[in-house]
């Protein structure tokens, strides 16, 4: 089976189950593909200490990260550009009769100004009076 590293909990359970079912160490070793020494060690650990899991996971420094640390790590991993802040949505205003009348008056004034501008632009410069130029040079 896997000769590099520790046995999984499933493999340890298979060894203990085969031994408790009455198989000998050599029969269990042949059946599961582990050495007789491994079979004996795992079964002894289980029967003496009721230990089935590997202790390898308990060695070294613990890297327990709380929720605040997880958020920090997420931001570090995500990186990149930050999203722009969205502008708040405009609230719709309730329009009164006075507001409607005021807006209508503004539109009428604007139309009147545009008509006056168009009328003034159509005449052009004053040509009827002023100094006349002679045709001779």
pTM strictly above 0.85: no
55 vs 51: CA distance, rounded Å: 9
65: left (phi > 0), else alpha (psi -120 to 50), else beta?
A: beta
Whole-angstrom Cα Rg for the chain: 47
Q: Give how many domains the chain has, as a whole number.
A: 1
37 contacts: CB under 8 Å, gap ≥ 6: none
Determine the structural domain holding residue 21 and report its residue range.
9-52
Is 85 a domain residue? no
pLDDT tens figures, 60-74: 555 566 777 777 777
Whether 40 is in a domain gets the answer yes
Is 92 inside any structural domain?
A: no
Residue 22 forms part of a structural domain: yes
Decide if 32 is inside a domain: yes
**How confident is the model over 71-121, as pLDDT tens digits?**
777 777 666 666 667 777 766 667 788 888 898 999 999 999 998 888 877
> Which pLDDT belongs to residue 112?
93
């Amino acid at each position: 089976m896997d000769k590099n590293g520790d046995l999984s909990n499933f493999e340890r359970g298979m060894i203990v189950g085969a031994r408790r079912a009455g198989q000998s160490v050599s029969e269990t070793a042949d059946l599961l593909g582990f050495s007789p020494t491994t079979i004996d060690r795992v079964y002894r650990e289980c029967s003496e200490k009721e230990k089935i899991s590997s202790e390898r996971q308990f060695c070294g420094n613990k890297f327990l990260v709380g929720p605040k640390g997880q958020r920090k790590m997420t931001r570090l991993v995500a990186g990149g550009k930050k999203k722009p802040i969205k502008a708040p949505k405009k609230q719709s205003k309730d329009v009164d009769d006075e507001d409607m009348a005021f807006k209508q008056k503004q539109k009428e004034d604007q139309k009147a100004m545009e008509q006056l501008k168009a009328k003034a632009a159509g005449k052009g410069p004053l040509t009827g009076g002023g100094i006349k130029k002679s045709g001779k040079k």
